[in-house]
Amino acid sequence: MAAPDDKAQIPASEPPAPAPAAPEVAAETSRPSEPPAPPPARPAPTRRERREAEKAAAKAKKRRPSRSASHPAVVIGSAIFTFLLFLAVGGGLLAWYGQQQYSAPGPLETEKVVFIPRGSGTRDIAEILEREGVVRNWALFIASQQITHRGEQLHAGEYRFPPGISLSKVLDDMVEGRVVVHQVTIPEGLTSQQIVDRLNATDLLTGSPRVPQEGTLLPETYRITRGMRREEVLQRMAAEQQKVVRDIWAKRDPTLPLKSPQELVILASIVEDETGKADERPKVAAVFINRLNKKMKLQSDPTIIYGIVGGKGSLGRPITRADISTPTAYNTYTIDGLPPGPIGNPGKEALAAVANPAKTDDLYFVADGTGGHAFAKTLDQHNRNVAKWREIEAAQKAAQPPAAAPAAPVTAPGAGVSTNAN
């Protein structure tokens, strides 16, 4: 039996509820739209307004970045250009400053002598100059050297810098090697050992040279610089001697009894020690040449001394009769002809005198008391000259007070009795 309550709740004769009405918007869209009202008419722009509008559009276009401006290559290129521009400006300022410092007066207040040792590099030189107050900054010195004198050597040596010397002048002087020049004078007749001793006595030179062979050095005044090696000076002396001997030998008297340039040097070294007067050298040379031609012993006192002391040079006492009669390789009182080698280093004048001696027949000479010599052709005449010299010598000794008399006079070249025996 159906439940009467369910049927009673929903009667069959009651109509269904109406569907909800569509929104008004949908109803409105179904109606035809009305045309909008036209905007009010705008007046035509003036010419000035058009120009201003065009300008504004152009500015806006410029401000608007293009796609190419944001490309990485463009950005990198722009950065590089900016960097290079910065370098160019900075480099220009730096170059201007460097030029000013390069030519401006330097910081040195008083003249100063500065020594640059051999083997010093550019950095070493720059630091020495800065330390001595010649330049303001070592780095600026190096930069200036690289720019103005690149590839050119800076010479070592002793430099004399005046007050306020500019950096440019310092560099010019060092590139040109305008060092302080000194002089060393080597007297004629010194032995090679004596010459080396003289070079060792100066602190301008360096090194410990060996003693050259006797007679191979030319006595002269030589220009030297601080720091130069002594061996270098000796080499220059030897080169000059070879040149002089070669030239003089080529112009010698062809009748000379000398067989080689070495014999020329040997005899010239004896002549050099026998007399210190330039006008006597050709006469003394003639005596020895005449003796060689006559096969007579040379009988030269300086050869006795050299035979005893060698390169030491000085005997330290007068020659004795025992010295004269004692044979040595160099004693020309006991040997025939020339000794085996030179007894010193003769100068140009002595070499020239032997190459072209005076034309005389003299065979003897002895000191005359005036610093010169008396020459003789015969032994009798020579003995008379010796007697005169003995009288002069005795008078000189008598005129001296006893306290002032020398204890042991040294026989000087040309002062002793030479060639006084046949």
pLDDT tens figures, 107-117 = 999 999 999 99
| Residue 290 belongs to some domain of the structure | yes
pTM of the model: 0.70
Q: From 192, 165, 53, 147, select the one nearest 108 (Cα to Cα).
A: 165
- Is 200 among the domain residues? yes
Report percent pLDDT > 90 for the chain.
Answer: 64
In a domain, 15, yes or no: no
With tokens 């600026």, the residue in question is: 140
Model confidence at 65: pLDDT above 60: no
Q: What is the C-alpha to C-alpha distance for residues 265 and 269, in angstroms, rounded to an integer? A: 6
Please tell me the total count of domains within the chain.
3
Beta bridge partners of 185: 221
191 plus 322 within the same structural domain = no
Specify the DSSP element, H or E, that contains 159. Answer: strand 157-161
Phi-psi region of 138 (alpha: psi -120 to 50; beta: other; left: phi over 0): alpha
pLDDT, tens digit (0-9, with 9 covering 90-100), for 265-294? 999 999 999 998 999 999 999 999 999 999
**Is residue 355 located within the same domain as residue 307?**
yes
164 and 200: one domain? no
Are residues 310 and 215 both part of a single domain? no
Q: Does 378 fall in a domain? A: yes
Which amino acid is present at 422? N
Other Cβ atoms within 10 Å of 186 Cβ, number: 20
236 and 299 housed in the same domain: no
Among 63-67, 263-267, 390-394, whose mean pLDDT is lowest?
63-67
What's the rounded mean pLDDT across residues 2-24?
Answer: 46
How far is residue 287's CA from residue 273's CA, in Å, rounded to a whole number?
A: 14
Report the pLDDT value the prediction gives residue 342, as an integer from 0 to 100.
98
Residues 371 and 281 both lie in one domain: yes
Residues 388, 277, single domain; the answer is yes
Q: Residue 9 pLDDT more than 50?
A: no
**How would residue 89 be classed by pLDDT, with cut points 50, 70 and 90?**
low
Give the pairing of strands 157-161 and 182-185: unpaired
d(CA 174, CA 169): 9
Name beta bridge partners: 130. Answer: none
The confidence band for 340, taking pLDDT boundaries of 50, 70 and 90, is very high
Give the angle 339-345-351 at the CA atoms, nearest 5°.
85
Residues 145 and 234 in one domain: no
Same domain, 137 and 200: no
Say if 318 falls within a structural domain.
yes
> Coil, strand, or helix at residue 224?
strand
- pLDDT at residue 64 in the model: 57
Beta-carbon contacts of 389 under 8 Å, excluding residues fewer than 6 positions away, are 366, 367, 368, 369, 374, 417
CA gap 199, 31 in Å, rounded:
133
The structure tokens listed for 146 are 């690289």
Using the predicted structure, report yes or no on whether residue 70 has a pLDDT greater than 70.
no
**Residue 285 belongs to some domain of the structure:** yes
Q: Which of 270, 257, 276, 327 is nearest to 298 (CA)?
A: 270
Q: Convert the pLDDT of each residue in 182-230 to its tens digit.
A: 999 999 999 999 999 999 999 999 999 999 999 999 999 999 999 999 9
From residue 130, alpha-carbon distances to 105, 126, 390 in Å are 14, 6, 69
Domain ranges, residue 188:
183-242
The pLDDT score that the predictor gives to residue 36 is 62
Q: Amino acid letter at 106? A: G
In a domain, residue 267? The reply is: yes
Q: And the tokens for 192?
A: 């090679």
Q: Does 323 have pLDDT greater than 90?
A: yes
Q: Which of 410, 397, 390 is nearest to 318 (CA)?
A: 410
The mean per-residue pLDDT over the stretch 327-334 comes to 97
Query: What is the pLDDT averaged over residues 322-341?
Result: 96
- Same domain? For 274 and 394 the reply is yes
Number of H helices, E strands in the chain: 15, 6
Q: Please check the confidence at residue 341 and state whether its pLDDT lies above 70.
A: yes
Return mean pLDDT, the chain: 84
Does 194 lie in the same domain as 172?
no
